[in-house]
A and B are shown apart, each in its own frame.
Chain A
Amino acid sequence: MTTRTPRRLDLSALFTWLTGAALALDLLLIVGLLVLVAVRGAGALWPHPVWSLGLADGTRVLGEIHSREPIPDAETGRLGDAGRIRVRIGNRDVSGLDFRWIDETQVTSRETPRDAVLVERLEWGPFFGFPAEIRTRAGVVASGPDSVWTAFGPLHDAKVALRERLRDVERGAIGDVNHEIERVRLAERRLEREAPPEPARSERAAALAARRAELEARYETHLAELRALREELADGELVLTTADGAQHAIPLGQIVRASQPNALGLGGKLSLYADRIAEFVGGQPREANTEGGIFPALFGTVMMVFLMSLFVVPFGVVAAIYLREYAREGFVTRAIRIAVNNLAGVPSIVFGVFGLGFFVYGVGGSIDRLFFADALPTPTFGTGGILWASLTLSLLTVPVVIVATEEGLAAVPQAVRQGSRALGATHFETLRRVVIPAAAPGMLTGLILAMARAAGEVAPLMIVGMVKLAPTLPIDHHPPFVHLERKFMHLGFHIYDVGFQSPNVEAAAPLVFATTALLIAIVVSLNLTAIVLRNRLRRQLAGRGV
């Protein structure tokens, strides 16, 4: 016999499902985002096949097929089998466009010719064509697809080496001379300002004039060297036949790399891919940032995060120690704690404006007047720079460090503190030797949160020193080696700039994904480092593997 109990609606099971579903949705969104970024980012630089398409109107098109979308039927409006493909045809200087949409019905033939060449250029983007000949001033060096391709390799290597030498002269030797000349200029201004009595004045002026003349002579020599190198670089051109049969000459010195993607095996593709990744991560940007590398942005992001950590940790930790260990619990302490927590919610641009007004104009302006008066009216510290950007971000992130440190301090048992006091240790000794070491994992948690927030922050940086293109890195070989006043590039802004502000958004889209993937990778690896460190500390405190 069964007894019937009145059935109640079992909400607990429903609730479990609901919470589980919410979590699953979150995970799906996050994983989806990461996969999208990783796949498109990693795929951005992978060599695509080069298609030669014969069209119904008798013309031919050469390029990479990037995407396909179905076309709705004209009558029913439903999506059918018909579609159009987006072809990257490159040759911007000839065709004016990078991409072209083509109806699939128009395509009469498709093939991937083995000798199709993709030339990546310093300017004007990629070029697709078939090798025709190589010319130099001396005359035609090679003609016909195969001999051109064999001759191209060594010639190209020579040009790459030449470009490197050219850059060494420009950035290295000439940069050094310019740096020296700027110092002479500042010395001259100082002399004018100080106006020492004669004969000291004339002596110093003469010394400076001599130095300037010497430097200018050096500059001229380098300039002559530069001209010769440019001349040499300009010699020689690769002539390609485009899909419609026209011939187009590309100066050899303009070629970043040329490849025949259709002829490459897996090994060749991998090596081309690796070469492109190396250029992307380690190279300088070109063409309004839409091509080339992102090294300055990478460097700027990492350096800014490190500087920020350097400022925020001591500051936040000390503030938290005061709040938790010294301040008397009461209305004021509670109010301060609430204010600190709310500070984390202030829109970041507000911090940016504060940073501009306080750090850049206030502090920076004063530093300029006191120490860099010679350079005025050109500001040195009185303009946005990596130092001010890091300080602004450390203001932005100091609340999370304070909160996390306070939690870490609160978690140290009262019994342990009393044990220390009972041995005759003062409050300070107890803090320094027992409480703070035990709270260190909490401090690292704060640092992790701060770094994650800082690396992704863009808005405030736009007004305190981040730029679209920085001519120099904040670290170089000129004393004092670290130039905290310099402007810097940042991956977050780079993504915005390339993805939405560049003249050629379509062509740059893959790079946006690649840059995003890299930014995420940096944030993750910075955090992982801190997390590993924190876990090691925790293990030590918990007594495993001291």
Chain B
Amino acid sequence: MTAPALPLIEKPAMRVIDLKLWYGSSLALDSISLDLPERRITAFIGPSGCGKSTLLRCLNRMNDLVDGVRTEGSVLFGGRSIFDPEVDVNALRKRIGMVFQKSNPFPKTVYENVAYGPRIHGVRAKGELDGIVERGLRAAALWDEVKDRLHESALQLSGGQQQRLCIARALAVEPEVLLLDEPCSALDPVATAKIEELLLELREHYTIAIVTHNMQQAARVSDYTAFLYLGRLIEFGETRELFVKPREQQTQDYITGRFG
């Protein structure tokens, strides 16, 4: 089969090349090739089970933690395949942060949640940690809301705050790429709007990939959009173009709500 034509895009931060992935014997991703442009937001859309989350989880090798997963092809990051046996997967995950569908703060204080990553990677000094925590929370637009509750449990925060805390936690280890797996699916519209606003700010500094079910969201925040269907990349291009005049009939059907 022919890979869909890649649009001419800016400098890529990550390149996915002919990636195939099997869960046991079933093929979940079939020859995916796409580039994540640097400091841009790329959205992965598609119906449930199309493989968009699986693709996202390949990018920081979270799929390693799932039994029976096998991959072929490569994902280039910094000029090197992340599947290279010499790659330190923990160092890789430090550079490629991830935020999950359901907010998953640790049962610790707000401060400890943000300081967790830096501590793991060897930051010990209290002053330095304080600075990192504040910067992380400010970057996630959470600082003003929690600055007086830093030493209260993170589980006390609202759902939207918890999700932004998870973003702050991911940012605290200073990643280059941020992967978000349906970060707003459990949030109300106000909290969703806050996160979208935040993503647009974060685009200044980070390369972002976001999986979303919500096509309006993809249209609102992303610069590029990839449409996946049944494990294959159907179409990938600039968001405006993909939504306004998709090249493929399947894309057209999906974004106009005829299926999915």
A-side interface residues toward B, CB under 8 Å? 413, 415-416, 418-426, 429, 433-434, 437-438, 540-544, 546
Residue from the list B60, B105, B153 in contact with A546, Cβ < 8 A: B153
Q: Using A422-B93, A542-B153 as known contacts, say yes or no to A415 and B120 having CB atoms under 8 A apart.
A: no
Q: Is the CB of B120 within 8 A of A419?
A: no
Note all chain A residues with C-beta closer than 8 A to B98.
422
The residues of A that contact B169 with a CB separation of less than 8 Å are: 419, 423
Of the candidates B107, B117, B151, which one forms a contact with A423 in the assembled complex, judged by CB atoms under 8 Å apart? B117
Are A541 and B94 interface neighbours, CB within 8 A?
no
- B54-75: which have CB < 8 Å to A? 60, 62, 65
Task: Please name all residues of chain B whose beta carbon is closer than 8 Å to the beta carbon of A438 when the two chains form the complex.
Answer: 106-107
Indicate if the CB atoms of B100 and A415 lie closer than 8 Å: yes
B226 close to chain A: CB less than 8 A: no
Complex interface bits, B94-128 against A, C-beta within 8 A gives 1, otherwise 0: 10011010101111110000001101110000000
Within 8 A of A (CB), among B131-171: 151-156, 166, 169-170
Report yes or no: B90 in contact with A425, Cβ–Cβ below 8 A.
Answer: yes
Neighbouring B residues of A420 by C-beta, 8 Å: 106, 116
Partner of A433, one of B65, B91, B93, B116: B116
Q: Which residue of A lies closest to B155 (CB)?
A: A543
Residues of B within 8 A of A540 (CB): 107, 153
Give the number of residues in B that approach A within 8 Å (Cβ atoms). 33
Q: Provide the bound-state CA to CA distance between A429 and B121, in Å.
A: 10
Residue B173 CB within 8 A of the other chain? yes
Excluding A434-B106, A544-B153, 10 further A-B contacts by CB distance (< 8 Å) are A418-B100, A419-B166, A422-B93, A424-B93, A425-B90, A434-B116, A438-B106, A438-B107, A540-B153, A543-B156
Residues of A contacting B94 with CB < 8 Å? 423-424
Distance in Å: Cβ of B132 to nearest Cβ of chain A: 13
Residues B90 and A424 in contact, CB atoms below 8 Å apart = yes
Query: Interface of B with A (CB < 8 Å)?
Result: 60, 62, 65, 90-94, 97-98, 100, 102, 104-109, 116-117, 119-121, 151-156, 166, 169-170, 173
CA distance A261 to B116 in the complex (A): 69
Q: Roughly how many angstroms separate A494 CA and B106 CA in the complex, as a whole number?
A: 49
Given contacts A543-B153, A543-B154, A543-B155, contact A422 B170 (CB under 8 A): yes
Top 3 closest pairs, chain A to chain B, by CB: A543-B153, A543-B155, A424-B94
A430 and chain B: residue at smallest CB distance: B120
Residue of A421, A424, A541 with most chain B CB atoms under a 10 A cut-off: A424
Q: Which residues of chain A are within 8 angstroms of B60 by Cβ–Cβ distance?
A: 422
**Distance between Cα atoms of A422 and B93 in the complex (Å):** 6
Would you give the shortest CB distance from B174 to chain A, in whole angstroms? 11
Rounded to whole angstroms, the CA-CA distance of A422 and B101 in the bound complex is: 13
A546-B109 in contact (CB<8A): yes
Assuming the contacts A429-B120, A540-B153, A543-B155, asked whether A423 and B97 have C-beta atoms less than 8 A apart, the reply is: yes
In the complex, A14 Cα to B108 Cα: how many Å?
Answer: 47
Residues of the A chain whose Cβ atoms lie less than 8 Å from the Cβ of B170:
422-423
A416 touches B107 (CB 8 A): yes
B91 to chain A, nearest CB (A): 7
In the complex the two chains form, what is the Cα distance from A426 to B166 in whole Å? 18
Cα–Cα, bound, A542→B155 (Å): 7
A419→B108 CA distance, assembly (Å): 13
A434 and B119 CA atoms in complex are apart in Å by: 13
B65 touches A416 (CB 8 A): no
Q: How far is the CA of A541 from the CA of B107 in the complex (A)?
A: 5
Determine the distance from Cα of A540 to Cα of B173 in the docked complex, in whole angstroms: 26
Which residues of A lie under 8 Å from residue B90 when comparing CB positions? 424-426
Give complex CA distance A416, B106 in Å.
6
Residue of B with least CB distance to A419? B104
Give the shortest distance, in Å, between A382 (CB) and chain B (any CB): 48
Given contacts A415-B102, A540-B153, A543-B155, contact A422 B116 (CB under 8 A): no
Q: How far is the CA of A437 from the CA of B108 in the complex (A)?
A: 9
27 A-B pairs within 8 Å (CB atoms) are namely: A413-B104, A415-B102, A416-B107, A418-B65, A419-B100, A419-B105, A420-B106, A421-B65, A422-B98, A422-B170, A423-B94, A423-B116, A423-B169, A424-B91, A424-B94, A424-B173, A425-B90, A425-B120, A426-B90, A429-B120, A438-B106, A540-B107, A541-B153, A542-B107, A544-B156, A546-B152, A546-B153
